[in-house]
Amino acid sequence: MGRGPGIRLRLGVTGSGLRRTNRTGAASVVLVVSVLAAGCGSDGAPDFDLEAIEAMVPAVLVPGHPEVVEGVDCGDPDPDRLGPVACTAILSGVEIPVLVHRPAIDGRIRVESPVEVVDAVDVAAEAAARLESDLGVVNVVACTPAARVAREGQAFACTATDPRGRDHVLVATLVGRDGSFRLDLDLP
């Protein structure tokens, strides 16, 4: 039925009228957050509190919807080793690599991931625009889950409500890593 124009989400980038909220990109954009376990008054770098850091990763990867991150596992890193820790996060059913840099003296960490995330709000807005363009009818569209990894085959379940209040079930299936999607009726 149509394709979105590419709804990739990137850190701190706005443009094309789309709300950008992703914390990653092809160049592995960096985000800095405070570590709750930073040692106040201690000398040197704060301790690497693995549990606290694993708990913070969802909010860093998808700040508007950390609930779509189903888990984070950083293994059992050597607490005395310097350098980043390779972790794995599960975002909407897809395992993604995450690199967590150890806390600096001020207790802040950096988190990197090469993946891009597509936000359901943006898919819904693009689907509504496409339906209006193709059908000449304004629909209100809502899609779930809140975010998906930008990979071919990932899908959003969408509901388009027409002006008469009738709901139409649609599926927005990503067709590439750029966030473009195919919109189809979900027929029973």
Rounded-to-integer distance, Cα 174 and Cα 76, Å: 35
CA–CA distance, 157 with 75 (Å, rounded to integer): 33
pLDDT digits (tens, 9 = 90+) for 22-42: 434 322 333 333 333 334 444
Token pair listed for 90: 């599960």
Tell me, rounded to whole angstroms, the distance of Cα 52 from its chain centroid: 20
The string of pLDDT tens digits covering residues 43-99 is 554 566 788 888 888 888 888 889 999 999 998 887 777 778 899 999 988 999 999
Calculate the average pLDDT of the chain.
76
Burial of 130 (0-12, 13-18, 19+ CB in 10 A): buried
pLDDT for the residue numbered 81:
76
Could you tell me which residue, 185 or 48, shows the higher pLDDT? 185
How far is residue 95 CA from its own chain's centroid? 12
What is the DSSP secondary structure assignment for residue 151, as one 8-state letter?
-
pLDDT of residue 188: 67
What pLDDT score was predicted for residue 13?
A: 21
pLDDT of the residue at 77: 82
- pTM: predicted TM-score of the whole model, two decimal places: 0.70
- Lookup: tokens for 22: 């992703």
pLDDT at 5 over 60: no
pLDDT confidence of residue 175: 94
Lowest mean pLDDT, pick from 46-55, 138-147, 152-161:
46-55
Which among 91, 82, 85, 90 is positioned nearest to 110, based on CA atoms? 85
Task: Determine the pLDDT at residue 34.
Answer: 38
d(CA 141, CA 6): 18
